[in-house]
Structure 1
Amino acid sequence: MALIDCIVLALYLIGTLAVGLHYAGRNQRSQDMFAAGGQSPWWVSGLSSFMTLKSAGTFVVWGGLAYREGVVAIAITTCIGVSAILVGLFVAGQWRRTGVTTPAEFVELRFGRAAVQLYTWAMMAVRIVSTGVALYAVAVMLVALVPLEPGHPLRDPASGHLSLAFAIFLFGAIVVAYTVAGGLWAVLMTDVLQFIVLQLAVLFVIPLLWLKLGSGAPLAPLPPNFFSPTSDQYTWWFMAGWVGVHFFLIGAEWAFAQRYICVPSDTDAKKSAYLFGGLYLISPALWLTPPILFRMLQADADPEQAYILASKLVLPAGMLGLMMAAMFSATASAISGQINVFAGVLTEQFYRRVFRPGASERNLVAAGRWFALLIGAALVAVALLVPVMGGAERIVLTLTGMLFGPLMAPTIWGLLSGRIGMAAVTASAGLVFLAGLWVKFGLDGPLGSPVLAAWVQANPRIADVLVGAVLPVAILTVAHLLRRTPQPAWRALQARVDAYAPTPPDEHGVDHAPAKVVAISLGASGLLTLALLAFNRDGRGALLVFGLSMLAIAWMAWRVSRRRPGPAN
């Protein structure tokens, strides 16, 4: 990575911190810090949800799969779009109509305090691991680009590149800093900026790789069925299960539920989920094309580094730094959303309830920032341990396939039906967890089955989905059928739903400040890209198109921000 790339990356990171500090003043109440005051525009919420599921882990895990096995990676990730559309149809509006400030508040109303304890600690542990993997992934990409001379204090003697631990600490510190300062508003706004820059950067790489393929460079041989949407491991049955798992995840995981809560109305919540789903139906074919094209040029790359190596192969000076910044942005979005939501839960459910029932709003905001700092420190520690835990791909697939379903399915069921209670929640989480342990570690023991063990070994991904999606639904179905009348807590919750009214607009009407922040930030990024013309002899046409594209989007956002505010619908 050239000096100009490092400068571009540094400027982008500084800009991200500046956005967080800009929104620090809006956090006067806990609702501002953790629910954006219920005034987030639906499109901001939808883009933020999209970016919350995206991270450098996307490029390391799914980019690596695309490099190894081809189009099947696109098919798997497109399933997430189907899940989000279903969430928009059945779930997102229900979240907003409950009138809660945090998802944990709903869990307490619906299932009781014991459920809050179970969900908080189980989900926080799972999410700290998954976001730690994302932080590890973006650090892996950075160190692949930064070789250092022997004797450099930041050099890893084993690889000859920048120390992975230093990269993890650097990126982790930046994400925690802007999340602690700016709360959910900072998370939402940086997500929007990161979405735009990331999509443009990916679109920038694709035509350059096509030109490289057409330049006469020798093509590498491809594996069989490289262009098939399925494979031996990832069958159509797996795809169906993947839709189910992500329906639970996107519909009930607290970072996503928070996006449905923070908008003004239930209609806005649905629109944000539809936007999220529509983007995930289209975008996988774009952002997984680069590693597929790179596989045609080079067959012996490390799959985890394939995406960034493809970018390094074709991008002009300075643009590689922007691509690295875009991948950091995606990771920052995933991490900051999780930090914010769990800091909110700990503040509202534990600090306020247990330690200081009479705490002022100022004290609650301060406590939330301390909790965000502690959670950030924990995920940095996990990121350092990812290689010991088996690598990024194995962790992501196991967590998603086996653990999110039993944790999320009861929440969605409890949102739509009154028949299940805490016993069903405990049964779903406990029995599925035990089944998962048995499938992973017990099939070769005294209680195992050689035939079943052989099948699981041959079909590990389908086994994950059966345990993580099918089994919890079966357990909840039985619990639902065994009870004929709604739980008492359901009636109390329905009273809140019946009293639901959309959040009224503030005295200034529709808030156009997000569009103004987007315009200023993208305008600066566009000018920076055009300045890179001075450092390149080749690729000037692509730089010009990229810079002008960002300036055009900035101009449109500025026009929106200059509209006179009026009453919200």
Structure 2
Amino acid sequence: MLTTLDLAVLVGFLALVAAVSLLASRGERDRADYSLAGRGLSWWLIGFSLIASNISTEHFVGMTGNAARSGLAVASYEWLAAPALVFVAWWLLPKFLRAGIFTIPEFLEYRFDRTTRSILALLMAVFFVLTVLATVLYSGATFLSNVLDVPAWLQSSYGLEPDRAEAVAFQLGVWGIGFAASIYTVVGGLKAVVWSDLIQGSALLIGGAMVAVMALNVLGDGEGLLAGWRSFAGANAERLHVVRPWNDPDVPSLSLISGLWIPVMFYWGLNQFITQRTLAAGSLAEGQKGLFFAGAIKLLLPLIVVLPGMMAVQTLGDRLPADQLDGAYPALLRELLPAGLLGLMLAAIAGSVMSTFNSGLNSAATIVSLDLWASHVNPNLSERGAVRVGRITTAVLAIAACLWAPVIHRFDGVFNYIQELWGFVSAPTCAVFAVGLLRPRAPAAAAKFALLAGPLLYLASRAPTWIWSAEEAQAAGSIAAALYAYASMAFLYHMFVLFLVLVALMLWLERRSPLAEPCVLADRSVVDLTPHPRAGLMGAAVLAATVVLYVVFW
């Protein structure tokens, strides 16, 4: 039960974050200030911001719930991010900083043409609103409403019926988070975002580690952390494995060397939501250090997010119903944390909701204002005009996300919703960048074809399970049954197949109509491109640690 002290800590923490963020972002004058924090971010700000923007209630609801149901396999989403970040530091970031880009779609204009840039920008802007922004609002509002027990308060204070109270509590959460997070994003831009990320990310990591330690103490029955780990490992021996059967519905084993790399590489290397922090690095060396730092933290995150979901099942026993495992982490918090600390942890989680929302909001606004508005509506947009358009766009996108968030209620869970929708963008984007960077004679027509055909092919891969049931597909004939069987495979396999098909088609188009001369990207860099002298060593250390974790938890 939340106390007055918990609520005071929650409100005070969020007020502190907003105040520090706004103070840190004073004096922004041009698009580099607003969208890329003046291209002056240090490695520790980049690293913390990457992690804080990534972690949200999707982790503390979806991922912990998945771990409570299925075990450690879901940790692969965290652990494989580490080598992806190393790859970005070693190969992608030097190319992006040399191009001097503000956005990922902008790179495609220099490699292909402006139309290619616009197609990707439009896809990203739409799916940012439908996935990142709307799902954060949905899961954040659901989480906070349940933990704070807002529906019960509305029933007792205003006499609302239970269903009406649930709906009003959800809307209050959506619009409250949207308003609070967008205020300092509209005013402060990326610099406000990364400073809020620093505070909230630090609190979340410290609080999450504290919860894990307290859970182990409980499992150790007063005999210490080592005894707690032995009890936990013994009770979960069959679930402490990351490699599952090939047809596992969550993380099939073959996807670890195939399809899982598509969303991981897209998210950490080609997603404006994440890469905007690295594009804002003061130098290549600072950006690389920030990426390695974030990679190291990603290796530790399952200890804070995944394992506590499993610990909750053992700690709470029958008090955690099997059909309510998405509430495993909130239930564990209420069980373990005393007054004050509970409020602080809830503040950190609420802060992570706002971090993810304002990060996605700033990234989406940057794409709309620079890739679409400045390219097609007002090519002569001034520096101050770019900031003004960015702020207006931020407000409009925030409202759009608040309006769309309730629609997610109609889907089968927020995790399934995210999986279905991001697949439309990730595989086509990865295919275009892979071919564009490795094949300098690939024409713009090939990239445009992949970006337009990719979402349609993905739709065709998923649609049979939306149209038919298994029985209806069998009754419709062998072709329908085969299509249904393919569509029923894990979406990670669909992504891998789609990626291979699009790459093959792009190479075929290149063979038919290659560029007369290989494309050579101009050097537009505005920061020092000297790599960090120990970039190889630091990246190798992260890769080695990843291998060790997979060997231990195979």
Pairing of 1:156-235 with structure 2 (within 5 A): 157-158=162-163, 163-215=169-221, 225-231=238-244, 232-233=248-249, 234-235=251-252
- Which whole-Å deviations, capped at 9, do the CAs of 1:339-389 have from their partners, x for residues lacking one? 112212322244444444444433322221111011111111222221113
1:316 is matched with: 338
Alpha-carbon contact 2:464-2:483 (below 8 Å) kept: no
Secondary structure, aligned partner of 1:165: helix
Pairing of 1:258-269 with structure 2 (within 5 A): 258-269=276-287
Secondary structure, aligned partner of 2:80: helix
C-alpha distance in structure 2 between counterparts of 1:282 and 1:455, whole Å: 35
Cα drift, residue 182 of structure 1: 0.8
Distance 1:421 1:171, change over 3 A: same
Alpha-carbon contact 2:35-2:366 (below 8 Å) kept: yes
Pairing of 1:415-494 with structure 2 (within 5 A): 415-442=437-464, 444=473, 448-457=479-488, 459-467=489-497, 469-479=499-509, 485=515, 490-491=519-520, 494=521
AA in 2 matched with 1:165 = Q
Distance 1:468 1:88, change over 3 A: farther
Task: Using the aligned pairs only, state the percent identity.
Answer: 22
Cα drift, residue 156 of structure 1: 6.8
Q: TM-score, normalised by structure 2?
A: 0.82
Distance 1:360 1:168, change over 3 A: same
Secondary structure, aligned partner of 2:7: helix
1:508 is matched with: none
State which drifts further: 467-476 or 129-138: 467-476
Distance 1:479 1:141, change over 3 A: same
1:138 is matched with: 140
Distance 1:317 1:44, change over 3 A: same
Alpha-carbon contact 1:237-1:462 (below 8 Å) kept: no
Cα drift, residue 487 of structure 1: 6.0
Alpha-carbon contact 1:129-1:382 (below 8 Å) kept: yes
AA in 2 matched with 1:440 = R
AA in 1 matched with 2:482 = V
1:333 to 324, 332, 355: 355
2:8 is matched with: 7
Structure 1 residue 291 corresponds to structure 2 residue 322? no
Pairing of 1:366-445 with structure 2 (within 5 A): 366-401=388-423, 403-442=425-464, 444=473
Alpha-carbon contact 1:5-1:319 (below 8 Å) kept: yes
Alpha-carbon contact 2:260-2:492 (below 8 Å) kept: no
AA in 2 matched with 1:286 = I
State which drifts further: 83-92 or 420-429: 420-429
Alpha-carbon contact 2:442-2:510 (below 8 Å) kept: yes
Q: TM-score, normalised by structure 1?
A: 0.80
Alpha-carbon contact 1:110-1:414 (below 8 Å) kept: yes
Distance 1:361 1:5, change over 3 A: same
AA in 2 matched with 1:453 = Y
AA in 1 matched with 2:217 = L
AA in 2 matched with 1:189 = W
Distance 1:433 1:303, change over 3 A: same
Gaps of 5+ in 1: 505-569
2:81 is matched with: 80
Alpha-carbon contact 1:69-1:223 (below 8 Å) kept: no
Pairing of 1:24-173 with structure 2 (within 5 A): 24-131=25-132, 132-147=134-149, 148-149=152-153, 150-153=155-158, 157-158=162-163, 163-173=169-179
Secondary structure, aligned partner of 2:240: coil
Cα drift, residue 168 of structure 1: 1.2
Cα drift, residue 95 of structure 1: 0.8
Distance 1:16 1:455, change over 3 A: same
- Which whole-Å deviations, capped at 9, do the CAs of 1:104-130 have from their partners, x for residues lacking one? 332222222212321122111111122
State which drifts further: 405-414 or 305-314: 405-414
C-alpha distance in structure 2 between counterparts of 1:427 and 1:446, whole Å: 32
1:300 to 315, 318, 321: 321
- Which whole-Å deviations, capped at 9, do the CAs of 1:490-529 have from their partners, x for residues lacking one? 33xx2326xx46259xxxxxxxxxxxxxxxxxxxxxxxxx
State the superposition RMSD in angstroms.
2.9
Secondary structure, aligned partner of 1:163: helix
Cα drift, residue 207 of structure 1: 1.8
Distance 1:26 1:389, change over 3 A: farther
Alpha-carbon contact 2:17-2:200 (below 8 Å) kept: no
Gaps of 5+ in 2: 223-227, 466-472, 530-554
Secondary structure, aligned partner of 1:362: helix
Alpha-carbon contact 1:51-1:195 (below 8 Å) kept: yes
AA in 1 matched with 2:67 = A
Secondary structure, aligned partner of 1:226: coil
Alpha-carbon contact 1:85-1:278 (below 8 Å) kept: no
C-alpha distance in structure 1 between counterparts of 2:14 and 2:199, whole Å: 12
AA in 2 matched with 1:7 = A
Cα drift, residue 323 of structure 1: 1.6
Structure 1 residue 273 corresponds to structure 2 residue 298? no
C-alpha distance in structure 2 between counterparts of 1:279 and 1:482, whole Å: 46
Alpha-carbon contact 2:124-2:425 (below 8 Å) kept: no
Secondary structure, aligned partner of 1:397: helix
Number of matched pairs: 497
1:514 is matched with: none
2:543 is matched with: none
Pairing of 1:485-504 with structure 2 (within 5 A): 485=515, 490-491=519-520, 494-496=521-523, 500=525, 502=527
1:365 is matched with: 387
C-alpha distance in structure 1 between counterparts of 2:91 and 2:511, whole Å: 21
Secondary structure, aligned partner of 2:241: coil
Alpha-carbon contact 1:39-1:503 (below 8 Å) kept: no
Cα drift, residue 266 of structure 1: 2.5
Alpha-carbon contact 1:198-1:326 (below 8 Å) kept: yes
Distance 1:178 1:315, change over 3 A: same
AA in 2 matched with 1:239 = L
State which drifts further: 308-317 or 73-82: 73-82
Cα drift, residue 398 of structure 1: 2.2
State which drifts further: 205-214 or 153-162: 153-162
- Which whole-Å deviations, capped at 9, do the CAs of 1:293-312 have from their partners, x for residues lacking one? 00113351522221111111
